[in-house]
Amino acid sequence: MAISTRHQPELSVIGLDSDALVDLYRRMLLSRTLDIRAWTLSRQGRAHFVITSRGHEAAEVGSAFALARGRDWVCPYYRNLALVLGIGMTAREVMLTIFAKAPDRSSGGRQLPMHFSHPKWRIVSGSSVVSTQIPHAVGLALSAKLSGEDIVAIAYFGEGGSSKGDFHEGLNFAAVHRLPAIFFCENNGYAISVPQQKQMAIQDVASRAAAYGMPGVVVDGNDPIAVYEAVRAARARAVAGEGPTLIEAKVARFTAHSSDDDDRLYRPREEVEAALARDPIPAFGRRLIELGILDETRDRELQAQVTAEVDEAVEYADAAPEPDASDLLTHVFAE
């Protein structure tokens, strides 16, 4: 495992050398660029439903880099565009789901966009019903424990999703059986239009961990390295047989809940502007530049590269075949 001490000691991160740090940054940029394009396509009437990761990129890509990608089980939720790109899905694969085209690997264009799955990356298909992915991850963690594999299962969800019974049942079972599970809460302060203080009488979802008998960790979700380190520690604990961890990344949702929501009806603009001023992507870019890991020319090149990648993915997915009407009911009814 490389330790990057090449540039500045203050960013020596175990497991991430300079190339990995730039790759982490590039995937955050890719997610943001793809996300904005998907939103534009929805406004043009070309994508029917879009949920964004905007504001969550540092938490999602930072956490992805701490996993054994392709071996650990990943149970995402709909706000995880940046996560799945961080794990390894491509812009083309995501665009196929947004255009609902036949070659889409998740469902042949039948699932809602942003309901990711990918066998190669062990990204498990989820439901729109919030938090159902938590017990799925717990089951996968149980199977990993029984098979003795050196892997973990991680579930992602929002703070609103932590109000569901699935959260309680999943965390309790995982702690009782000391399963190799990580519960990753992305706390953006809203469940659609419901602010956190109307959802729970506590500040930190992570404080609930004590009631289940596992560590609860609060981390700055704007800092991809802090998130990486928190997930890395939770993963090490899990594979050592010490049981699950609840991580809460404090993030901000930059957009409305989805392309079908108007958050101007319930969210003060000043709050959104304050969140935008703390955008984690330019902040991480500046940090890499200050550390001498990146320079402005390379930064512009990276942005141009991800823009070209997204342009190409849109063209490719637009030209891909539509699903055939004859398979409309495939996997809907038992045969």
CB of 312 to ligand TPP, least distance (A): 29
Helix (H) or strand (E) holding 153: strand 153-158
CB of 267 to ligand TPP, least distance (A): 12
Amino acid identity of 291? L
Token pair, residue 318, equals 């637009």
Q: Which residue has the tokens 């809602």?
A: 112
CB of 197 to Mg ion, least distance (A): 13
Contact by Cβ (8 Å): 172, 212: yes
Q: Which residue has the tokens 């992602």?
A: 156
- Let me know if 323 is exposed, middle or buried by CB neighbors in 10 A (0-12, 13-18, 19+): middle
Task: Give yes or no for residue 130 binding ligand TPP (CB under 6 A).
Answer: yes
Task: Give yes or no for residue 129 binding ligand TPP (CB under 6 A).
Answer: yes
- Please, which of residues 178-217 interact with ligand TPP by CB under 6 A? 186, 188, 190-192
- Let me know if 227 is exposed, middle or buried by CB neighbors in 10 A (0-12, 13-18, 19+): buried
Task: Give yes or no for residue 188 binding Mg ion (CB under 5 A).
Answer: yes
Task: Give yes or no for residue 161 binding Mg ion (CB under 5 A).
Answer: no
50: closest CA among 106, 113, 126? 113
Token pair, residue 9, equals 């000691």
Pick what 130 binds: ligand TPP, Mg ion, none; C-beta below 5 to 8 Å, kind-dependent: ligand TPP
- Please, which of residues 144-183 interact with ligand TPP by CB under 6 A? 157-161
Q: Which is nearer to ligand TPP, 191 or 306 (CB)?
A: 191
Task: Give yes or no for residue 113 binding ligand TPP (CB under 6 A).
Answer: no
What residues act catalytically?
A: 253, 257, 266
Footprint of Mg ion (CB under 5 A): 158-160, 188, 190
Interacting residues with ligand TPP (CB under 6 A): 79, 128-130, 157-161, 186, 188, 190-192, 253, 257
